[in-house]
Amino acid sequence: MAKNRIKNNHGISSKLSTPIMLSVILVLVGYFIWWLNIPFVQDIYTSAAITLVMVLGFQIFNGNSGILSWSYVGFVGIGAFSSAIFSMTPQMKSMQMPEMYPFLVNIHVPFVVALILGAIVAAIIAAVVAWPMMKISDDAGAITQFALLIVIHVILAQWSKVTNGPRTFTLGGQTLTTIWVAMISGVVVLFIAYFFKESSLGLKLRATRDDRYAACSSGIDMVKTRYLSYIFSAAIGGFAGGLYSHYILSINASAFYMTLLFNLLSMAVIGGKMSVSGAFFGTILLTLARQGLRQIEPVLTNMGVNASGSTEIIVAVLMIVFLVFRANGIMDRYELSPSSLKSLFSRKKKAEKKSA
């Protein structure tokens, strides 16, 4: 059975080609940057790879279901805090956070286990709260998601005994999310996001996005499909949060709120949120654009213009321009693969022939 299915899909190579091509780009660039050995550039690459994991987790639910999942960044925050609590040593925790619950202080597990536990915590919380919310679509759905984000944010920002409350949560120690950890995570999650999209669950979810009523009448249990995908997306978000907190080393609940949401949203929208390749190229493009603009900001500030924040203005304008002229982003619903590249070139040739 399985063999037949693979054959029908033009062989296994074409099925794998998208994540392989994207991973090769990610790894080659990463290797080159590691070889260059410029700390500043390595930092940019590492944070870009972490952002890529976040955007891919966002794409899993947001892109395939068509529901704007505001609450996603809340789960990134949950993963960031919980994995940090799991990985820190008891001494460090009692020193930094004297108010913390004693049973949390005593937990200590290796970094990789902490990352996975962070993902599991995010998934469990998503599983507990999400079921009734998955019934609601459109505007009401968006407001529900928004409300959930605020609830998570208030709890993260106030629960002193777990997250150190409104104060900064300092991890201490060394950066555990190195350039290699970020790169490998990026590759793994690229494959996960692609296989999710192509899996039966992902296919059902995309069907509910494209035509809710047709999907339901074809026997798809929409609420269940959305529910499982949402939990999956929250788990990847929690994992990404863990990577982020072990990279940045001091976190605060406000890091997982509107600004982060806007960053992820702009990347997904400009790249094309319906495709994994879109999330990939959106992340790369926006990271480069932001870094470039951020280099200009201090220059302007030196000239006497207060420019901090102008990056966001330009990115937001760019996003809206994209929404007007190419609403589905650069990649639309296409993926990077040898056949899509081929058809792109042949289309260009045809167009040239026609004009000639």
Applying CB under 8 A, the residues found at the interface with another protein are 66, 68, 132-140, 142-144, 146-148, 150-151, 154-155, 158, 212-213, 216, 221-223, 258, 262, 265-266, 269, 306-310, 312-313, 316-317, 319-320, 323-324, 327
| Cα separation, 250 vs 167, whole angstroms | 10
Q: How far apart are CA 90 and CA 222, in angstroms?
A: 44
Compute the least distance from the CB of residue 54 to another protein, in Å.
Answer: 17
Q: Which is nearer to another protein, 33 or 274 (CB)?
A: 274
Using the minimum distance from each CB to another protein, give the nearer residue, 234 or 243: 234
Residue owning tokens 């035509």: 211
Determine the Cα–Cα distance for residues 165 and 163; give it in Å rounded to an integer: 5
Residues 6 or more apart whose CB falls under 8 angstroms from that of 194 comprise 18, 19, 276, 335
Task: Copy the structure tokens of residue 249.
Answer: 């080393």
Q: How far is the CB of 305 from another protein (least distance, A)?
A: 8
Closer CB to another protein, 148 or 255, in the complex? 148
Our CB check for another protein shows the closer of 20 and 307 to be 307
CA contacts within 13 A on the Cβ side of 161: 4
Residue closer to another protein by CB (options 39, 219) is 219
- Contact between residue 238 and residue 72 where contact means Cβ atoms under 8 Å apart: no
As given in the structure block, the two tokens for residue 289 are: 């654009």
**Closer Cβ to another protein, 276 or 319, answer by number:** 319
Q: 340: number of CA atoms within 13 Å, CB side?
A: 14
Q: Quick check: 237 and 52 in contact, CB under 8 A? A: no
CB of residue 314 to another protein, shortest distance in Å: 9
What minimum distance in Å lies between the beta carbon of 213 and another protein?
7
* Min CB(262)–another protein separation in Å: 6
Q: Which residues contact 130 (CB under 8 A, 6 or more apart)?
A: 227, 230, 231, 234
Q: Which is nearer to another protein, 199 or 301 (CB)?
A: 301
Give least dist CB 328 to another protein, A. 10
Rounded CA-CA distance 131/18 in Å is: 32
Provide, rounded to whole angstroms, the least separation between the CB of residue 38 and another protein.
Answer: 30
